[in-house]
Amino acid sequence: MAGYVARRGPMVFSSLGKWAYNLSGFNQYGLHRDDCLYENEDVKEAIRRLPRKLYDERNYRIMRALHLSMTKTILPKDQWTKYEDDVKYLEPYLNEVIKEREEREEWNKNH
């Protein structure tokens, strides 16, 4: 993953996409989209493969969001995750895990 540059923001920028992103509410807690993924086996493995710095940053955002949720508060608006700045940090690791799983399934099917 050394040469990978994380994709910022969604592939397609649109008013509707931005509206839906802001409506979801996770950005008000400072979370990224990848922080909110359902943790199936592929996502868990991708998280396990994260570099320590990204893993710690992810855990900090989640712990802060949990604290804010428990105190029924949100971050000040200037600290919300912006639609354009949402980094898909887990995407390359998740794609790699999915590809490996599919290859393993294909191998097991043929052998």
pLDDT at residue number 8 = 54
**73, 34 in Cβ contact below 8 A?**
no
Give the integer Cα–Cα distance in Å for 110 and 36: 35
pLDDT at residue number 9 = 53
pLDDT at residue number 2 = 52
* Residue of 48 and 1 predicted with greater confidence: 48
Q: What are the pLDDT digits (tens) for 29-86?
A: 999 999 999 999 999 999 999 999 999 999 999 999 999 999 999 999 999 999 888 9
Domains and CATH numbers, the chain: 15-110 (1.10.1090.10)
Residue 37 burial by Cβ neighbours in a 10 Å radius (0-12, 13-18, 19+): middle
- The pTM (predicted TM-score) of the whole model is 0.80
- Degrees, nearest 5: CA angle 24-26-30: 145
Ramachandran region, residue 74 (left: φ > 0; alpha: ψ -120 to 50; beta: rest): beta
